[in-house]
Structure 1
Amino acid sequence: MREGMVEGVHHGSALVLGPDRSTLFQAGDAEVAFYPRSAAKPLQATAMLRLGTPLDTAATALSAASHSGERFHLEKVRAVLGEFGFTEDDLRTPEDLPFDVAEREAWIAAGRAPSRIAHNCSGKHAAMLATCRVNGWSTADYLDPGHPLQRAIADTVADLTGQPIAKVAVDGCGAPLFALSLRGLATAIGKIAAGGPETAEGLVAQAIRQHPELVAGTRRDVTALMKAVPGLIAKDGFEAVQVAALPDGTAVAIKIADGADRARKPVLAAALALCGVDRAALAHFSGDANLRVTGTLADHSPSNTESRI
């Protein structure tokens, strides 16, 4: 909005669940399946810990990351690979440049070619290789949907979401991509955030909270948000997908239909405000002060209840 006139409209869906999985707010369709892209990485990380992969806290955070390709990201990926007897050549990520603009420009200026480790999913892939090593599984085909690793991850995704996987595709990094509903995704991230300290879910949540810069990067909005809101875990995904959850399991899941990142951030801020997060902590993420998010609040009869920031 600008001076009372609409400049742009983004359609999408958003869901806020309480700790008991009750619906606190809903906009759009929370039941239709869609591809959560990298927002599903905390679920995949949980699966790998359930399979007994002995990752330290930083490596666990990186296994759930879409990292920016900063030096500390790449050094940790190399450390994980080396610990389990692998090299960069064992990764099956596409060759890529760092995700972060500044890192990408420096990479190009240095005359460096795209590489597998620079891909933003290399931390997840290093953890996948480690999981295969621990369980005695083959590694050259670890991305095959029929591989024991990917079958186990699919089982964990279904368990955490409480729903069957609607469709399996291939993500941009080459790994299997599971179509889920917004409700299933919110349910899963809420379980992870509220997981006990000795559970795989709890260990993933602890790692994300302790190392938000590994989950994204020093110049990323997701990292800044987790630092601004104590205890929050958050993960974004391509095509404007976002999940976030508080330690009590209150959870948010968002999908902007046109994939617009400019809508993702203020909608997330509006949803977190409905969760009781201090609006002052969200001010940097709310965008246009005249944004209107329209949906249905629990215990409210109007179908166009508005949440304003």
Structure 2
Amino acid sequence: MYSTSVADAPLIREPLHAPVAHLIRGGVVEGLHYGSVVVLDAGGTVRLQIGDIEAAFYPRSALKPVQAVAMVRAGLPLEGELLSLAAASHSGEERHLAGARRILERAGLREDHLRNVPDMPLDPAVRDTWVREGRAPSRLAQNCSGKHAAMLYTCTLNGWPLDDYLDPGHPLQQAIAEIAEDLTGQRVAKVSVDGCGAPLFSVSLHGLARAAARITTAAAGTPEARVADAMRDHAEMASGAGRDVAALMRAVPGLLAKDGYEGVQVAALPDGRAVAVKIADGAGRARIPVTAAALARAGVDSGLLTGFAGEPLLGGGEPVGCVRPVRALDPAPLTACA
């Protein structure tokens, strides 16, 4: 039986996305990014919505804090940087690989127990170094290895089988689905497979924002608070050096933020204010400027967000434009970034 506090699954439909960012060159709108945005106040009320915040979608890696909470609720004893790594889309730096090895060692396991796909490091500079050194793709280097190592550790602690830990019917994945529904407040609409091979649960953008707010407002010492504290205190373990999501958590006191593939971003403050963003075309260049503008609409001091306007558009090697959130998010004139 589902709890009465869990709503029906969001509808699976073509999302009714709307413009969320302009690509401006020399004061002229050159392009347009569609997407959806939701801003929640501290009481959970929707204060701003653009596009379709209720359609089913895949949060991709933005759901990792929820997965980590589920594992901690199931007994995962990790803290600090290793718990942050369990919720990470890491860059493949040596500290990330070493951390994943440490989690496996605590579980008495080896790299070959991992079932995520082998890959090169996510960070371009780290990946280039691997190529120069002739290193092959590995499961540890893949950006979800911390999550997978933590999944295996959780399984060993509960006596659950290891070989099929990625099967949606496995006790671990059933536990994660239950917590995803608890924190988002809605049933899962669809289960698919994420890029790393783990089950991927479809919820709504609104539900994703609710889940982030539930995590950041939880009482100290709870699984939710432990995950939030670990990610905020060790932001580079949840991402990597130079990553925008880590910089955003450092810039805004108390902010928990997690990005996801295909233009997804969620962020929440300790008082429950939260934003969630989906860029329809998956464009990374629009994700952070739109998120920063949404956080400003949530009441975050805009002075803390000045470094998150996105990369400038270049002409002849010089800045000639920018990616500017739509006026519902940022009322500045189009010529402001010309």
- Decide: shared fold, TM above 0.5: yes
**Match of residue 236 from structure 1:** 259
Please point out which of 178, 187, 199 is paired with 1:164: 187
Shift of residue 308, structure 1, vs aligned partner: 3.2
Residue of structure 2 equivalent to 1:302: none
Give the corresponding residue for 1:40.
63
What are the Cα deviations for residues 103-160 of structure 1, in whole angstroms up to 9, with x where unaligned?
1011111111100000000000000001001101001110000000000000000000
Q: CA deviation at 1:37?
A: 0.3
Give distance in 2, aligned partners of 1:13 and 1:36: 12
Per-residue deviation, 1:282: 1.0
| Equivalent residue letter for 2:68 | A
Partners of 2:80 and 2:171 in 1: CA distance: 24
- Separation in 2, partners of 1:3, 1:56: 49
Aligned residue in 1 for 2:106: 83
Is the contact between residue 57 and residue 207 of structure 1 (CA under 8 Å) also seen in structure 2? yes
| Equivalent position of 1:11 in the other structure | 34
2:249 pairs with one of 226, 235, 241: 226
Give the residue type in structure 2 aligned to 1:161. T
1:194 to 2:217 alignment? yes
The residue aligned with 1:127 is: 150
Root-mean-square deviation over aligned CA pairs:
1.2
Correspondence for 2:316: none
Unaligned runs of 5+ in 2: 1-23, 311-320, 333-338
Inter-partner Cα distance in structure 2 for 1:35 and 1:276: 27
**Per-residue deviation, 1:306:** 4.8
Amino acid at match of 2:82: A
Letter in structure 1 aligned against 2:119: D
Distance 2:330 2:280 in 1: 19
Question: Matches of 1:265 and 1:9 in 2, distance apart?
Answer: 15
Q: Secondary structure at the match of 1:178?
A: strand
TM-score, normalisation: structure 2:
0.86
Distance in 1, Cα, partners of 2:323 & 2:34: 17
The equivalent residue for 2:324 is 291
SS in 2 for 1:15: strand
Aligned residues: 299
2:166 is the counterpart of 1:143:
yes
Secondary structure in 1 matching 2:31:
coil
CA distance in structure 2 between the partners assigned to 1:20 and 1:49 by the alignment: 26
- Over 3 Å counting, the alpha-carbon distance change for 1:24 and 1:82 in structure 2 is same
Residue of structure 2 equivalent to 1:182: 205
**TM-score, normalised relative to structure 1:** 0.94
Q: CA deviation at 1:208?
A: 0.8
Deviation at 1:198, TM superposition (A): 1.5
How far off is 1:240 after superposition? 0.2
Match of 1:107 in 2: 130
CA deviation vs aligned residue, 1:236-268 (integer Å, no higher than 9, x gap): 000000000111111111001011111111100
Task: Give the corresponding residue for 2:297.
Answer: 274
Mapped to 1, the partners of 2:225 and 2:283 lie a distance apart of: 31
CA positional deviation for 1:307:
2.8
CA contact (8 A) 2:286 2:323 kept: no
Q: Distance in 2 between matches of 1:151 and 1:115?
A: 27
8 Å CA contact retained: 1:52, 1:131: yes
| Partner residue in 2 for 1:214 | 237
Residue 196 of structure 2, aligned match among 160, 173, 195: 173
Determine which of 114, 118, 128 is the counterpart of 1:95. Answer: 118
**What is the CA–CA distance in structure 1 between the aligned matches of 2:323 and 2:172, rounded to whole Å?**
46
8 A contact 2:83–2:230 mirrored in 1: yes
Distance in 1, Cα, partners of 2:218 & 2:266: 16
AA of the residue aligned to 1:293: V
Instruction: Structure 1 unaligned segments of length 5 or more: list them.
Output: 295-304
Deviation of 1:230 after TM superposition, in Å, equals: 1.2
State how far apart, in whole Å, the 1-side matches of 2:323 and 2:88 are: 32
Kept in 1, the 8 Å contact 2:36–2:277? The answer is: yes
* Conserved 8 A contact 2:58-2:201: yes
**Percent of aligned pairs with the same amino acid:** 58
The one-character-per-residue Cα deviations of 1:275-294 (angstroms, maximum 9, x if unpaired) are 22121221111136672425
Give the aligned residue type for 1:184.
G
